[in-house]
Amino acid sequence: MLALFPQTVASEFPDYPITSLPDLEGWEDTSWRNDVCPSFWRNDFLVWIDYPDPRERENFEGCRFIVCRLDFDGCLLVGSATLLETDDWTEVLALVH
């Protein structure tokens, strides 16, 4: 289902500093302009990657990376909680691999 979304972080968030993104090889860009930041999907996990500068985030006290679980249709699991909130990309990789 996620493959049907042709948008990318560049088209949905034109002011986002793309060069600040971690290595996303193997991740599918699922960014959508009505979200607060870009998102990427892999192995049934969805990761929102907020702006590197906390002052540009909707929640400037929040973490840069937020990980949730998706169901088999590519939708957030109903009632599922956030699995991880961190500023460390290596923690994200440890969870989703």
pLDDT score recorded for residue 17: 95
Cβ 30 vs Cβ 39: under 8 Å: yes
pLDDT score recorded for residue 74: 56
Measured CA angle at 62 (ends 56, 64), to 5 deg: 70
Task: Indicate the pTM of the whole model.
Answer: 0.84
SS (H, E, C) 37-82: CCEEEECCEEEEECCCCHHHCCCCCCCCEEEEEECCCCCECCCCCC
| Helical (H) or strand (E) element with 28 | strand 28-29
Name the residue ranges covered by the structural domains of the chain: 2-11+25-96
pLDDT score recorded for residue 81: 72
Residue 51's Cβ-side half-sphere holds a number of Cα atoms within 13 Å equal to 16
What does the pLDDT profile of the chain (97 residues) look like in tens digits? 444 455 799 999 999 999 999 999 999 999 999 999 999 999 888 999 999 999 999 998 999 999 998 765 556 655 567 899 999 999 999 999 8
